[in-house]
Amino acid sequence: MTILDHLGKPMTFDKKVMKDRIARPSRKGVRAVKTKSTATGLNPVKCAKLIKAANEGDIFDYLTVAEEIEELRGHYYSVLQTRKLALRGVEPVVKAASDDKKDLEIAEEIKAIVDAPEFTDLVFGLADAISKGFSVCEIMYDFSANVWRPNSYIWQDPRNFTFDVETRTRPLLRQDEGDAAALDYGKFVYHTPKLKSGITIRGGLARVAIWPIMFASFSERDWMAFTEVFGMPVRIGKYQHGASDEDIDMLWRAVSGIASDSAAVIPESMTIDFIAASNSAKGDAIFAKAAEHFDASVSKIVLGQTMTTEDGSSNSQAQVHNDVRMDILEADAKALAATIQRDLINTYVAFNYGAAVKPPTFSLPVPKPEDVAVFVKGVVDLVPMGLRVATADLYEKLGISEPAKDAEILAIGDVQNAPGRNDKKSNKNKRISLNKTQEDDAGDLLDDADDLLDDYEAEYFGDFVDAGADMADQILKKLDEAGSFEEFQQMLDEFDTSDVDPKLFVNALAKSGFVARSSGEDRD
């Protein structure tokens, strides 16, 4: 069966191409390592020219600036790394195509590829597309045991690529000689997150962030110039009439030297006045406010919010917003999972098992933060009202495993001194409190609730039979004589209690009930 690539074209499989590194950089060719700076002296005119050229297909200088502003602006680098690392921290999930034995085996192979340390390099390399609009990683294969298995992923400089003239969306690899070539299917992982509609080069965040970053650099540059001028008072030297040129030169050297040396020696007849500029009192606040405004704009562009970076929010507010807005992280994860499914998982299965075999499903599910305390309180409030909740669901929700029969379990409160007998039962759980084990002084396990009730009955209810022995004997006698429940009930209705003293019975019952209630409150 013919294997089609992601563009629907028949795929040619060349073993040499799969093994070798195709996008290898050269010393003097078009894929040479680039070090020339473009972001130096960035201004509105230069930004407009870069963006216009990128729209028309010349993306080299624009991609250079997109790379350099990550290094020139620390805040942009920080928030962009936060978004990339949030994506890298999502745990991948591989689901077999079916319950068939062969599909399960293929899924296990994919899990081994995903769990390999090199896979995180692929995720982080592809995340570079968030800022630049696209990212390409080359797959290096290892062919052993008749299996093509990826063993490393090499991030490629996006400046080594261009796009077709017709659509500006199909990536092409620059060549030293001849036209740029299409990417070999199965050899590259090409990621383009759909952050906005339009041609690929217009989809990166750098295109939007470049403007506030440029204006922020203007503000900080002016701030430094302002500090240099108004950071210290103006020095004015005064010399007397008739002073010689030598005296004037001495005074000038003293005045100018104070800026760097903070000290000077002048004759007693000369004076130096320090005058502070009144218009500089709030100048630094203006520049600081401008810098904060542009940084907040960058945070909104990259993270979708400013609460965790600029607003000084409380922890509860920050947890609601998270480091990256949840819908943005979910969109990034879905887009990246679709790319890896198409260019890595599907090709691996096609290479090794054929195009007719359905590949496993790869996903990056983003866990949503939940308030466990609120959930538990809701269960506690609703269960008495009739809500039926399976314990297995609670264990799964809380992220804890169901204890085995012989496992140690937690109990609320101090149960170390609870009464009980010192006999062990091998099939019962060992009960412990949060900080104490429920054992007696001899180290034996204490009894469960049924044994404790037996102990209470033996200790506190001994008077019950004595106080009501006559009544109990007469009732038991009638029970033996009755032939049915209805007959026994009629006997109880006609039972003569005139010769029975109920005081002892009532007192014993009240006393026993009080002891049981007190003991229960103490153990609750």
Each residue of 258-280: pLDDT tens digit?
665 555 555 656 666 655 555 55
Least confident of 85-89, 156-160, 184-188, 466-470: 466-470
Q: State yes or no: pLDDT of 320 exceeds 50.
A: no
Residue 482 has pLDDT above 90, yes or no: no
Name the range with the highest mean pLDDT among 134-138, 257-261, 402-406, 458-462. Answer: 134-138
Say how many C-beta atoms besides its own lie within 10 A of residue 434's C-beta.
Answer: 9
pLDDT (0 to 100) of residue 313: 45
**C-alpha–C-alpha distance, residues 47 and 210, integer Å:** 8
- Given this model, what pLDDT does residue 269 score? 66
**Token match 């609670």: residue?**
394
Residue 236 in this model has a pLDDT that exceeds 90: no
Residue 28 has pLDDT above 80, yes or no: no
Res. 418: pLDDT tops 60: no
Query: What's the pTM value of the predicted model, to 2 decimals?
Result: 0.63
Query: Of residues 282 and 63, which shows the higher confidence score?
Result: 63
Task: Note whether 341 and 361 are within 8 A (CB).
Answer: yes
Confidence of residue 120 (pLDDT cuts 50, 70, 90): very high
pLDDT at residue 266 in the model: 59
Q: Which pLDDT score, from 0 to 100, does residue 437 have?
A: 42
Distance CA 308, CA 316 (A): 11
Residues 468, 505 contacting (CB under 8 angstroms): yes
Q: What percent of the chain has pLDDT over 70?
A: 71
The CA distance from 363 to 201, in Å, is 26
Range scoring the smallest mean pLDDT among 40-49, 309-318, 473-482: 309-318
Looking at the DSSP bridge assignments, the partners of residue 4 are 10
The confidence score (pLDDT) of residue 467 equals: 53
Rg (CA), the chain: 40
Q: What is the pLDDT of residue 7?
A: 62
Element (H, E) at 300: helix 283-303
Question: What pLDDT, on a 0 to 100 scale, did the predictor assign at position 140?
Answer: 92
Mean pLDDT of the chain: 78
- pLDDT, greater one: 318 or 394: 394
**In this predicted structure, what is the pLDDT of residue 501?**
66
Q: Given pLDDT bands bounded at 50, 70 and 90, which one contains residue 470?
A: low
DSSP 241: T
Alpha-carbon distance 157 to 63, whole Å?
A: 9
Q: 226-233 long-range contacts, Cβ below 8 Å, gap at least 24?
A: 226/280, 226/283, 226/284, 226/287, 227/284, 230/277, 230/280, 230/283, 232/259, 233/274, 233/275, 233/276, 233/277
Q: What is the dihedral of CA 332, 121, 152, 150, to 10 degrees?
A: -30
CA distance 509 to 460: 10
Tens of pLDDT, residues 32-66? 776 677 777 788 899 999 999 999 999 999 999 99
Summarize pLDDT for 140-160 with one digit per residue, the tens.
998 877 888 998 999 999 999
Confidence at residue 259, expressed as pLDDT on a 0 to 100 scale: 63
